[in-house]
Structure 1
């Protein structure tokens, strides 16, 4: 897939004190991207959908001095951010309600400071292993070519005895990460789905075939790997398409003997997210019919609409059997 290049870039002048900031500026200049040297981003279009579209083509190169990391269960002990938001336009994205009306991308370039915070959290937990997720509010692979920050993180975690890194992506920009020392301390998880879901709802992401090729590369480089299948949706022919998905993965990983994890997440939405989705994607094919769902209290203090118990059980049983049948070296971390 073609590497993402923004239409407009803002650079906080302080970001140019850092190596990654200078690298980002160099990339933007070579790509002929208009640069505004300011820490304040201005997006003022005439509608919600236009603000959203403009934001998805705008980046801010800046810094992140967060000292206390948030927990990130069930994925990891803590989460940290190399960036926020991403170039993808996934209609169902769970970040629809958390990143505001204008979810432009912030790219943090003070990687040394971020790694020092991570080190502090690791040291406080020795001799236990501490795990970190770096893709809770972004897709780090989608923006890696701009700064190279993720490569530095992977190399750092390779050198730590008690730290482990996890990330998830829908992109295939992995070549710069294949020949580095990772010491199996970074786990790559790929967000995958049926052709129907990818083609209809995951705009500006890699195709399934492109993701599978990236999966092959990462597996051949010896990284621990896993898959997030999310959101799993019920639609005509869903069973056949998910069967094809799992069988294609099996063929791609026929020589991979290490353990493979799966995280399974059914489609869900909140009332607030539904309103935003319909404003941003007025022609969406997403099934947002609340009458066909049941309410479930979420961990962040909001009700969400999930499939009724019978449908949810059908999804769980079908996907579990499908994975176990095709991957003897797999385990399912959770279904939710």
Structure 2
């Protein structure tokens, strides 16, 4: 897909003290993006829907001051951020309730300081290997062409004896990573789904075919790979569509002999998320019928609506069955 180009960029003056900040500004100028030098972002839409849409086309170059990284179970030991929010407009996104009414993209430019914090966490955990997730609150691949930050991270972890990186993405902008000395220390996981779900609910992201092609490129470059199938939804012909997805994946990756991991996540939502989704996407076709779901207590102190146990077990059994039929090198990390 075409690389993301914001409608406007705000730049914290402090970010220009960093090489990445200056380079990102030059990239934005080349893209003819209007620039405002300011310590705050101003988005004034007439409705919540307009605020959301404007925010998704706004970036803010700034500095990360995070010194203590948060745990990130079950994905990794810790999470860190190269940015927050992303250009995608996924209607079901779990970040709907965490990034406010105006989820513009903060892009952090102090990459050396971020890597220093990561190294401190590695050192504290020696002699054990420490794993890090950099896609919990963003999609780092979507904004890579502006900063080059993820490339720098992959090189850092490639040289790290006890640090490992996990990346998750819905975007296909992966060419800049193919020739790096990753040393098998960075694992790429692609968030994939059926054509129906991608086309219907995952706006402004790479297509079904683009993601699978990107996964093939990364696999051929020797990276460890995995897939997150999420959110898994029940709808007319869902079984046919998920079988097509996994058959296509097998066709593209049939000669990849190393382990392929799968993380399986059924569709869920909270009452707060439902309210926000209906505000931002009033014509959504998402199934948000609370009566057809059961409540599950979430790790962050909120109830989630998930499929009833019978349907959940059907999803789990069906998807895992197809994966095992297609991949004898598959590892199912979890289903939730």
Match of 2:182 in 1: 182
TM-score (norm 1): 1.00
- CA–CA distance in 1 between the matches of 2:156 and 2:41? 32
- CA–CA distance in 1 between the matches of 2:324 and 2:19? 46
Cα deviation for residue 23 of structure 1 reads 1.1
- CA–CA distance in 2 between the matches of 1:207 and 1:30? 26
Residue 150 (1) aligns with residue 170 (2): no
- CA–CA distance in 1 between the matches of 2:65 and 2:116? 10
Question: Secondary structure in 1 aligned to 2:142?
Answer: helix
Match of 1:26 in 2: 26
- CA–CA distance in 1 between the matches of 2:244 and 2:76? 30
TM-score (norm 2): 1.00
Match of 1:217 in 2: 217
Cα deviation for residue 181 of structure 1 reads 0.4
Residue 60 (1) aligns with residue 60 (2): yes
Match of 2:273 in 1: 273
Cα deviation for residue 255 of structure 1 reads 1.1
Q: Which residues of 2 match residues 160-309 of structure 1 at below 5 A?
A: 160-309=160-309
Match of 1:103 in 2: 103
Question: Secondary structure in 1 aligned to 2:95?
Answer: coil
Residue 325 (1) aligns with residue 325 (2): yes
Whether the aligned pair in 2 keeps the contact of 1:4 and 1:87 (CA below 8 Å) is yes
- CA–CA distance in 2 between the matches of 1:47 and 1:286? 21
- CA–CA distance in 1 between the matches of 2:312 and 2:213? 31
What stretches of structure 1 move > 3 A for 4+ residues in a row?
A: none
Question: Secondary structure in 2 aligned to 1:95?
Answer: helix
- CA–CA distance in 1 between the matches of 2:293 and 2:209? 32
- CA–CA distance in 2 between the matches of 1:109 and 1:13? 12
- In structure 1, stretches of 5+ residues that fail to align are none
- CA–CA distance in 1 between the matches of 2:296 and 2:248? 33
- CA–CA distance in 2 between the matches of 1:143 and 1:317? 36
Residue 76 (1) aligns with residue 104 (2): no
Instruction: Map Cα deviations across residues 89-128 of structure 1 (whole Å, 9 max, x no partner).
Output: 0000000000000000000000000000000000011110
Cα deviation for residue 44 of structure 1 reads 1.2
Cα deviation for residue 61 of structure 1 reads 0.3
Match of 1:89 in 2: 89
Mean Cα displacement is larger for which, 236-245 or 15-24?
15-24
Question: Secondary structure in 2 aligned to 1:140?
Answer: coil
- CA–CA distance in 1 between the matches of 2:254 and 2:74? 28
- CA–CA distance in 1 between the matches of 2:254 and 2:297? 40
- In structure 2, stretches of 5+ residues that fail to align are none
- CA–CA distance in 2 between the matches of 1:106 and 1:39? 12
Match of 2:138 in 1: 138
Cα deviation for residue 304 of structure 1 reads 0.6
- CA–CA distance in 1 between the matches of 2:124 and 2:220? 34
Q: RMSD value over aligned CA atoms?
A: 0.4
Question: Secondary structure in 2 aligned to 1:96?
Answer: helix
Cα deviation for residue 258 of structure 1 reads 0.5
Question: Secondary structure in 2 aligned to 1:141?
Answer: coil
Cα deviation for residue 242 of structure 1 reads 0.1
- CA–CA distance in 1 between the matches of 2:29 and 2:57? 16
Match of 1:12 in 2: 12
Instruction: Map Cα deviations across residues 14-66 of structure 1 (whole Å, 9 max, x no partner).
Output: 10111110111001101111000012000111110000000000000000021
- CA–CA distance in 2 between the matches of 1:65 and 1:119? 15
Aligned residues: 336
Whether the aligned pair in 2 keeps the contact of 1:212 and 1:252 (CA below 8 Å) is yes
Whether the aligned pair in 2 keeps the contact of 1:39 and 1:60 (CA below 8 Å) is no
- CA–CA distance in 2 between the matches of 1:56 and 1:74? 28
Match of 1:120 in 2: 120
Cα deviation for residue 272 of structure 1 reads 0.3
